[in-house]
Amino acid sequence: MRRTILILVLLVSLFPPWNLNAMAQGSSSFNPEPEAGSIVCPPGVYSTVPDDCLPLGPSQYLTDLAAEKVPYPIIPLPAYSPDPSLVSVPYLYFKLTQPKAVLYLYPTLAKAMANQKSTMPLGPGEVIISYTQRVENSSGVFYQMRDGHWVRGDDGGRLAMHQPFQGLLFSSTPHNSFGWVLGDVPSYSYPGINTPPTGNNYHRYNIVQIYKTQSAGGLTWYLIGPDEWLDSRQVGRVDPRTAPPMGVNTDRWIEVNLDQQTLSVYQDDKLIFATLVSTGIDTLWTRPGIFQIYQKKDAETMSGYTAADRSDYYYIEDVPWTMYFDEKRALHGAFWHDRFGYQNSHGCVNIPDGDAHWLYNWAKVGDTVYVYDPSGKTPTDPALFGSGAP
């Protein structure tokens, strides 16, 4: 018995418990784990293949996005909306709506009610007057203009204001291009009209960021997110600058892109505001060049025509937030249409009312207006441009 106990004591002293456990498990804690092949890298962007892991799976996807200059997660634009109260215009408008109708001006309400022949006609054409009061009685509907004259409402009516769109203010200059969608359009998985759609649909005035431009099928396409492309014709694009364009020698300027129909505002070499606009139609182009704002008017009456038969005659009262920069051409609000992002003027730069109001508050007489067309489609021959028309 004593011999058996002595043998057990000797065994315990020779083999400590931790060593016995290791032996029982068939391995030693000092031996490294045998190699079982390369491991996958943690999720991340790898510009070169690491020595100790393989950048597969999520890492490969993130690296592919980085090669397309698409950040993950998507970084929102450093932007915010202007004050919505800026949209309000302090005028009421009557518009002539019947084709070829003429609006006659009467010195008194009584003469308007009697429908006595007036020698002061406006039209035919696009005629919009600003009125201070509306009277409806057994003789019809009548509007008093701000200058005191009266008009009959037989061939027109009150103009409804419909401009919910406002541009963007910026706390810093975005790192990539961005823009507004101009219509209701789908996006595609690859650049090309015949590629699979993503199932995402975009609507007018939706904001998108632009990370890459690529040509396919005779069209230019914008990468707006991971594996998501839009036809460039459906986007009004802004390419932020970090320095003034050639010829602009100031740190405050307004930039009008005739190709993209956008307006951008810079201060201290930083983008602070951007929106969509409507510039001159063909033959009535907005002239490219570098100009200065020479006059500001809260409201302006604009009228004229270019056709010999006066078929394009227009008369519009109290055009708000007007800033003249190139003879008769001006930056101004345009309450009478909602075609921003497309050419639609006689040479002026039409701006949504709220954005024109913001710009009017910011701009000073003498500020630079830089107008350019990166596509080269707008002619530059001075002989093709007269004094301009609103």
In degrees and rounded to multiples of 5, residue 180 shows phi and psi of -115, 135
Tokens of 116: 């006595």
Tell me the Ramachandran region of residue 217: left when phi exceeds 0, alpha when psi lies from -120 to 50, beta otherwise: left
Q: Do the bridges between strand 314-326 and strand 126-137 make them parallel or antiparallel, or are there none, so unpaired?
A: parallel
**Which strands sit side by side in the sheet containing 197-202, from one edge to the other?**
197-202, 185-188, 228-231, 219-225, 212-216
In degrees and rounded to multiples of 5, residue 111 shows phi and psi of -70, -35
Give domain status of residue 27, yes or no.
no
Give domain status of residue 29, yes or no.
no
Tell me the Ramachandran region of residue 69: left when phi exceeds 0, alpha when psi lies from -120 to 50, beta otherwise: left
Question: In a structure prediction context, what are the per-residue pLDDT tens digits for the chain, which is 390 residues long?
Answer: 444 444 444 444 444 444 434 444 444 444 554 455 568 787 776 667 776 787 766 665 665 566 666 776 789 999 999 999 999 999 999 999 999 999 999 999 999 999 987 778 999 999 999 999 999 999 999 999 999 999 999 999 999 887 789 999 999 999 999 999 999 999 999 999 999 999 999 999 999 999 999 999 999 999 999 999 999 999 999 999 999 999 999 999 999 999 999 999 999 999 999 999 999 999 999 999 999 999 999 999 999 888 888 888 999 999 999 999 999 999 999 999 999 999 999 999 999 999 999 999 999 999 999 999 999 999 998 888 888 766
- Please indicate, yes or no, whether residues 276 and 312 belong to a single structural domain of this protein: yes
Q: Map residue 324 onto helix, strand or coil.
A: strand
**Residue pair 319/301 in contact by the 8 Å Cβ criterion:** yes
Give domain status of residue 82, yes or no.
no
Which of the listed residues 105, 123, 158 is the one where a domain comes to its end?
158
Q: Map residue 42 onto helix, strand or coil.
A: coil
- Please indicate, yes or no, whether residues 257 and 378 belong to a single structural domain of this protein: yes
- Please indicate, yes or no, whether residues 335 and 276 belong to a single structural domain of this protein: yes
Query: So what's the pLDDT on residue 116?
Result: 83
Query: So what's the pLDDT on residue 180?
Result: 98
- Cis peptide bond upstream of 174, omega within 30: no
Give which of 273, 244, 289 is closest to 363, Cα–Cα.
Answer: 273
Alpha-carbon Rg for the chain, nearest whole angstrom, is 34
CATH at 277:
2.40.440.10
User: What distances in angstroms separate CA 376 from CA 171, 259, 260, 301, 373, one per listed residue?
Assistant: 32, 8, 12, 32, 6
Beta bridge partners of 235: 181
- Please indicate, yes or no, whether residues 190 and 133 belong to a single structural domain of this protein: no
How many folded domains does the chain comprise?
4
Query: So what's the pLDDT on residue 390?
Result: 60
In degrees and rounded to multiples of 5, residue 214 shows phi and psi of -145, 145
Query: So what's the pLDDT on residue 24?
Result: 41
- Please indicate, yes or no, whether residues 181 and 276 belong to a single structural domain of this protein: no
Query: So what's the pLDDT on residue 20?
Result: 38
Query: So what's the pLDDT on residue 37?
Result: 56
Give domain status of residue 5, yes or no.
no
- Please indicate, yes or no, whether residues 220 and 302 belong to a single structural domain of this protein: no
Q: Alpha-carbon distance 379 to 280, whole Å?
A: 12
Residues in contact with 340: Cβ distance below 8 Å, sequence separation at least 6, in sequence order: 165, 261, 275, 276, 277, 278, 350, 351, 352
- Please indicate, yes or no, whether residues 370 and 284 belong to a single structural domain of this protein: yes
Q: Alpha-carbon distance 371 to 156, whole Å?
A: 36
Give domain status of residue 171, yes or no.
no
- Please indicate, yes or no, whether residues 263 and 375 belong to a single structural domain of this protein: yes
Which of the listed residues 110, 128, 158 is the one where a domain comes to its end?
158
- Please indicate, yes or no, whether residues 201 and 226 belong to a single structural domain of this protein: yes
Give domain status of residue 3, yes or no.
no
Give which of 221, 255, 219 is closest to 239, Cα–Cα.
Answer: 255
Q: What residue numbers bound the domain in which 103 lies?
A: 90-158
- Please indicate, yes or no, whether residues 340 and 267 belong to a single structural domain of this protein: yes
Give domain status of residue 170, yes or no.
no
End-to-end CA distance of the chain: 120
Query: So what's the pLDDT on residue 2?
Result: 47
Residue spans of alpha helices (H) in the chain = 2-14, 17-25, 58-67, 109-114, 353-362
- Please indicate, yes or no, whether residues 234 and 263 belong to a single structural domain of this protein: no
Q: Alpha-carbon distance 173 to 62, whole Å?
A: 25
pTM, to two decimals:
0.83
Query: So what's the pLDDT on residue 47?
Result: 64
Residues in contact with 375: Cβ distance below 8 Å, sequence separation at least 6, in sequence order: 258, 259
- Return the biggest CA–CA distance within the chain: 142
Give domain status of residue 12, yes or no.
no
Query: So what's the pLDDT on residue 64?
Result: 59
Q: Alpha-carbon distance 224 to 241, whole Å?
A: 19
Q: Map residue 148 onto helix, strand or coil.
A: coil
- Please indicate, yes or no, whether residues 116 and 192 belong to a single structural domain of this protein: no
Query: So what's the pLDDT on residue 46?
Result: 66
CATH at 105:
2.30.30
Q: Map residue 85 onto helix, strand or coil.
A: helix
